[in-house]
């Protein structure tokens, strides 16, 4: 369980992100890409993503394992302004952060030798990483962005209504059952025991289309606190009933049924971000 400790100042500074975050969606979709769930729409999306993105996936898969920890530098806060600002932030990540986060990842699994250049902050290696993220996002995420934005927007409207009408504590009570508000602590379903003390910084809630099951937090408590969670709009869509655009690259059904991922009943830790 993750316990998020709020003060009165934190409640005043807590908010919901303005919309879907392109790098969070990109990174979390890499988990969905490797799941074994048999939904036909997911299978179609996987085939498309693998067919069009084998080069980027060779770079991204080692950095984003199918479960457990992945580096915070892949999802910088600047991505809330768009893919390109996010990628610029990735390339500007301080070497100390790159080195520390890849050391954590390397302590849990064997990393390819080329990751040493990223850890050292080599510009060419960071440009290659940014190109891989951009290319994968372009092929696997961007064609379905209208639907992703719609689902996230549905959730955001729900949370913002509670926040605007009755305040932060009322909003915090809307997140059940995976998150439970027990003042002054928000209890969050999480694969490990962890305490997050906001200490006046507030918390940004980021509804996500590709986040499934348990919410996801940044691993480094020193970074601006963020909690990514499955968008209610995504969970509510029943297979075959979701109305969405016809994707120009995928065909009509490749992402349209994908919201079922967020509402799957099996509890998994595929997207959980933690250190052991």
Q: Which of 213, 228, 219 is nearest to 70 (CA)?
A: 219
Question: Does residue 235 carry a pLDDT above 60?
Answer: no
User: What are residue 254's phi and psi, to 5 degrees?
Assistant: -65, -40
> What is the tens place of the pLDDT at every residue in 138-185?
988 998 899 899 999 999 999 999 999 999 999 999 998 899 999 999
Query: What is the average pLDDT score of the chain?
Result: 84
State the pLDDT confidence band at 243, using cuts at 50, 70 and 90: very low
- In angstroms, the CA 68 to CA 274 distance is 6
State the pLDDT confidence band at 196, using cuts at 50, 70 and 90: very high
pTM assigned to the model: 0.84
Q: Which residue has the tokens 């999306």?
A: 45
Question: Does residue 254 carry a pLDDT above 60?
Answer: no
> What is the tens place of the pLDDT at every residue in 33-68?
887 665 566 667 777 777 765 678 999 999 999 888
* Tokens (6 digits) for 137: 């996002």
In percent, how much of the chain has pLDDT > 70?
79
* Tokens (6 digits) for 115: 């990751």
């Amino acid at each position: 369980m993750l316990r998020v400790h709020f003060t009165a100042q934190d409640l005043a500074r807590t908010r919901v992100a303005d919309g879907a975050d392109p790098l969070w969606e990109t990174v979390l979709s890499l988990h969905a890409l490797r799941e074994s769930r048999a939904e036909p729409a997911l299978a179609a999306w996987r085939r498309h993503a693998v067919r069009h993105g084998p080069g980027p996936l060779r770079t991204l898969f080692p950095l984003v394992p199918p479960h457990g920890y992945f580096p915070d530098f892949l999802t910088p806060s600047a991505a809330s302004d768009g893919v390109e600002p996010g990628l610029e932030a990735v390339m500007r990540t301080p070497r100390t952060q790159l080195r520390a986060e890849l050391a954590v990842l390397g302590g849990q699994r064997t990393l390819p030798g080329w990751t040493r250049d990223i850890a050292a902050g080599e510009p060419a290696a960071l440009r290659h990483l940014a190109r891989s993220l951009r290319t994968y996002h372009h092929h696997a995420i961007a064609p379905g962005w209208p639907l992703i934005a719609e689902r996230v927007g549905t959730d955001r409207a729900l949370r913002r209504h509670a926040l605007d009408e009755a305040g932060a504590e009322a909003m915090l009570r809307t997140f059940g059952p995976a998150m439970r508000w027990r003042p002054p602590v928000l209890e969050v379903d999480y694969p490990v025991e962890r305490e997050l003390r906001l200490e006046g910084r507030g918390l940004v809630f980021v509804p996500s289309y590709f986040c499934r099951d348990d919410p996801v937090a940044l691993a480094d408590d020193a970074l601006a606190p963020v909690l990514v969670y499955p968008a209610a709009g995504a969970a509510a869509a029943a297979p075959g009933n979701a109305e969405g655009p016809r994707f120009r690259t995928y065909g009509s059904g490749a992402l349209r049924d994908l919201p079922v991922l967020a509402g799957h009943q099996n509890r998994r830790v595929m997207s959980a971000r933690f250190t052991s």
